[in-house]
Chain A
């Protein structure tokens, strides 16, 4: 009896790992199952084209990425496709050619501005073969009625005590009467930072902070599979979408946490694409997981209709709403101390470089 219980407890502890969070839902399985590495057979480098990118009603430039996929059996990289002819047409007969960013497989628009209600189509010519996407419509994303947050408690694994775990962020929005609306939500956090760089010792450990020469914001995005937050209105058609959780704010410094929620209107195909991607990324191989399947795309090869073309070109209607989570009275804090300033005066500063993760531009609704 005791031997048995011990083995169960041991198993449970082993299972208490992030890999298995989903399988925890099938807790009974969790009691007895386990996950170990596996060496599959080597497979050849796939020869296919992956097309990814979107156009939206927000200002461009819009970027399309063309790559050849990597092998699964070792840590390979996708290889960018060079010298392709890429252009986007719309339903008004306009055409814009995309410019290649050298050595990257990226192609950028120059002047194109997506408009709600217009239909766009992507065309490509790669190694003499012609490809095109299905026409995609930019739909009206509607307005988010309300963004709000609620603190939640979690149980500390060490002390078994309940404590503040953070804040869940929810939205309410109205779904139009007509059927067949598909949504996706994104979550962006802007954080005003004073540090734009560091001075390191010879081992690469940071010693001193280098401040920014002006205002600078870090952009922190929701990352991970759960951020593919899609929904359809099959169950809520024409009603309020309420308490849709769009993100979580962790316990941190006692400050005001600024975030923007992005509501996207998708086409059905695009919804199915993201839903399938999410399913694939969440797959733990469990008993009740949906069996893996090909991700349906919207791009076909005109020269060879049997060729598999991967990826998706979407047209997205976007609306945004900002929200501030007030953490100033938070009962617990997790605020890492800053590095010391560089000794001497005046302290050096460094510029805030615009990237996916940092911006010198004040966020749209920042008013404090």
Chain B
């Protein structure tokens, strides 16, 4: 059935030829990937002599009208060797099937946007960056672990509070304001081992797209950005595998057809084997255990020409055993504790091609995040469990048949179940059981979006999303005495809601808009506006969020966060798309941003509203980027100027931070410079360099100190902290390097087993970058201030990768 549309074109052309009766001719065929047999869309087909061009459609079919005669046709696509075919075209039609080979020589190592380089200028979307996995693999990796999340830090507008921490901050948003989707399933914790590595397996990921401005209407629920991680489709033609052995983890991926060209599957597993690092360490560390694994499984079933079904399953697990730890956050002493967290998700997706360019899609998503802390000591034995359950059903219809209006509409409903903390004592334990109430809520949304081509030069994307959030019973909420700050001691009564009661409703419109005005084929101006509403929040009072940090849904006391962003960009490509440049500015306004109260308990607090504050935020910035796409040297340079400020100005002094004045957010780093350079002198060697420089993040330094007047800790100096985030830790810079040795493909081209060695150096000049600055309070210390560096040394690593 897929042939219907091409047939129509061909028939139409036939009629045209007959009508004209000239030497008109047509060339058509399919373009496939020589390695995988996949149909290739977006391949540019170009007749060199007549300078006419066409593109293959999503089924790999192309058609070009030419005059009969001799032609040289160039087939090209990024990442593939261009193919030149000399043909003698007769009057009428000629079919030409083409296979393109992947270009191992001049890969698009640093292509931030996949597809055609000119997309940068021509697409309407603004603030979007796409990284394919091959680009990510070229970035020198910490301890050899290719890391999707860390690679995003090389993009303008993306920062983090420090190395080895979880999550990213996008354009002034906190880490929970990013919607991270892996094949439609949200990931609530993107890191392994508390933030050292990300949970995505490089062998299973196809590409990642970060939308940080002009977010399309189909996405919602988070205030800052959308990170869409798309997994590979399993190879439906032949069986293959890949994997690697690294210092931290080893991985193996197998994929292939189960029923040829009908049903195929991919399974990718990764596990860490790094316990030996602790065993050779000093005695206190020897009881430490830190392990993780993740398994990704994807099924792809082509039911028929029109229907296809995919299923993605994902399991990730971390365990971390610490020989001695005082669980100071919950006031329990313990001699050992075990932390663990896991993500389980599944996505079932159905796609129905009604006809060409008219598609129905439906998906059912389930995702669960669960974190546990276990203390085995008998008298204090406890299990502390928290979890987030996400269930989602959605449907989308898109119609791109009209050249001027390509539109889509859709909707979905999400059910959240949050179990903030359940503390279960052991059999002989004196710890009291505590079960903070489950939070049940639903979020429903509907949207329409239209990409409207006003003229050749001007296109707009107009989107409108409506989201509705309902907090549901059963639940009980404390009532507080009026005209007083919320606190435990002003609780007057408890209001109890039954199952099915709607406790609180929030909702509203979320307009999205983007405009592209092409000044020339290689230059455009773009504008974007979006409003985003966020109903669930991550509450943390530590510098970097712990895996056990608490998720909470909006309630009568905690209002949804709302972000409004406007952005403006200038995009220009030079020298026939060899160079891409862009400049973007944005201004963002945030409502109901959350921050914690000084000294507040969050983990086991049944009245969370007494521990947090909500206020305003504003962020603005400039992002400049220049990129070289082809040649022996490729790479990019980006500079970002970005500021983020918050204001917590409640009605009472206790509900203010810094007396209600604006203060910089934890991750406010004004200047960031990122440079990435890749040199590929021949087929066997790739050298990559990566340099990053940024301002230090804000910190709170003591304003003075006084000596405790107390016999117990006589002489201890208590630091006096007044205002939050008024100082800065020193600037951060780092150079990384990696070298990849591939086999020479020309030596034994028929060999199936392909392998490569990657040697990388992280922090080449071993700079002790500050993660934080803190003050020693020992009366006999000679120095007062210290800085803590996390990755304080040069980290060499070696990884062996293979493919068969």
Contacts and interface: CB of A to CB of B under 8 A. Distances in A.
Contacts of B482: none
B706 A310 contact: yes
Given A46-B703, A235-B423, A38 B787 contact: yes
Contact of B720 (A12, A25, A284, A310): A310
Contacts of B774: 283-285, 289, 292
Interface string B514-553: 0000000000000000000000000001111010000000
A283 B719 CA distance: 11
Contacts of B711: 221, 356
A37 interface: yes
Contacts of A25: 322, 324-326
B3 interface: no
A71 B704 contact: yes
Given A7-B794, A27-B278, A35 B721 contact: no
Nearest to A74: B784
B431 A235 contact: yes
B770 interface: yes
Nearest to A238: B432
Given A48-B720, A241-B430, A286-B772, A12 B542 contact: no
Interface in A217-246: 221-225, 227-228, 230-232, 234-237, 239-245
Given A46-B704, A235-B432, A236-B432, A5 B280 contact: yes
B771 A33 contact: yes
Contact of B719 (A12, A290, A292, A311): A292
Interface in A151-190: 155, 157, 160, 186
Interface stretch (B209-217, B282-290, B361-369, B473-481): B282-290
A148 interface: no
A280 B701 CA distance: 12
Given A38-B773, A281-B716, A290-B541, A32 B791 contact: yes
B604 interface: yes
A267 B645 CA distance: 36
A354 interface: no
B730 to A, nearest CB: 8
A275 B718 CA distance: 12
Interface string A30-73: 11111111111101011010101100000000010101011111
Nearest to A43: B703
B722 interface: yes
A271 to B, nearest CB: 10
Contacts of B281: 8-9, 12, 31
A288 interface: yes
Nearest to A187: B712
Interface in A69-95: 69-73, 75, 77-78
A35 B710 contact: no
Given A52-B709, A290-B542, A356-B711, A27 B704 contact: no
Given A19-B786, A24-B284, A33-B771, A288 B704 contact: no
A335 interface: no
Contacts of B721: 280, 292-295
A17 to B, nearest CB: 11
B463 interface: no
B664 interface: no
A239 B790 CA distance: 42
B309 to A, nearest CB: 40
A16 interface: yes
B493 interface: no
B706 A279 contact: no
Nearest to A234: B604
A65 B708 CA distance: 10
A3 B247 CA distance: 13
A230 B724 CA distance: 26
Given A8-B277, A32-B793, A43-B703, A235 B604 contact: yes
Given A48-B720, A235-B331, A292-B721, A281 B777 contact: yes
A308 interface: yes
A24 B287 CA distance: 11
Given A28-B194, A290-B541, A53 B709 contact: yes
Contact of B333 (A1, A244, A289): A244
B722 A294 contact: yes
Nearest to B282: A16
B713 interface: yes
B792 interface: yes
A241 B380 CA distance: 10
Contacts of B666: 291
B788 A286 contact: yes
Contacts of A36: 768, 786-787, 789, 792
Interface string B326-347: 1011111100000000000000
A292 B543 CA distance: 10
A46 B788 contact: no
B768 A34 contact: yes
B713 A29 contact: no
Interface stretch (B125-133, B557-565, B678-686, B795-803): B795-803
A319 interface: no
Nearest to A294: B721
B544 A287 contact: yes
B426 interface: no
A223 B713 CA distance: 5
Nearest to A281: B777
A283 B541 CA distance: 13
B195 interface: yes
B681 to A, nearest CB: 26
Contacts of A231: 331
Contact of A186 (B165, B712, B727, B784): B712
Given A43-B704, A293-B599, A294-B721, A287 B277 contact: no
A39 B785 CA distance: 6
Contacts of A3: 796
Contact of A288 (B543, B713, B719): B543
A67 B434 CA distance: 43
Nearest to B489: A268
Contact of B322 (A27, A242, A310): A27
Contact of A72 (B247, B702, B710, B794): B702
B700 interface: yes
A296 interface: yes
B193 interface: yes
A365 interface: no
A276 interface: yes
Contacts of A160: 283
Given A25-B322, A223-B712, A225-B716, A291 B282 contact: no
A70 B705 contact: yes
B775 interface: yes
A248 to B, nearest CB: 13
Contacts of B719: 72, 280, 292
Nearest to A52: B709
B164 interface: yes
B768 A12 contact: no
Contacts of B546: 288
24 contacts: A1-B247, A7-B796, A8-B281, A19-B786, A27-B290, A29-B164, A34-B768, A35-B786, A37-B785, A40-B773, A52-B709, A72-B775, A77-B707, A186-B712, A239-B430, A282-B328, A287-B164, A287-B194, A287-B543, A288-B543, A288-B546, A293-B724, A296-B599, A306-B659
Given A35-B787, A243-B430, 14 more contacts: A25-B324, A224-B716, A234-B434, A235-B432, A239-B430, A286-B543, A287-B162, A287-B165, A287-B790, A288-B543, A292-B702, A292-B774, A294-B598, A296-B598
Q: Which 6 A-B pairs have the closest CB atoms?
A: A285-B774, A46-B704, A293-B598, A285-B772, A34-B792, A52-B709
Interface of B: 162, 164-165, 193-196, 247, 277-278, 280-285, 288, 290, 320, 322, 324-326, 328-333, 379-380, 423, 430-432, 434, 489, 541-544, 546, 598-599, 604, 659, 666, 700-714, 716, 718-722, 724, 727, 730, 768, 770-777, 783-798
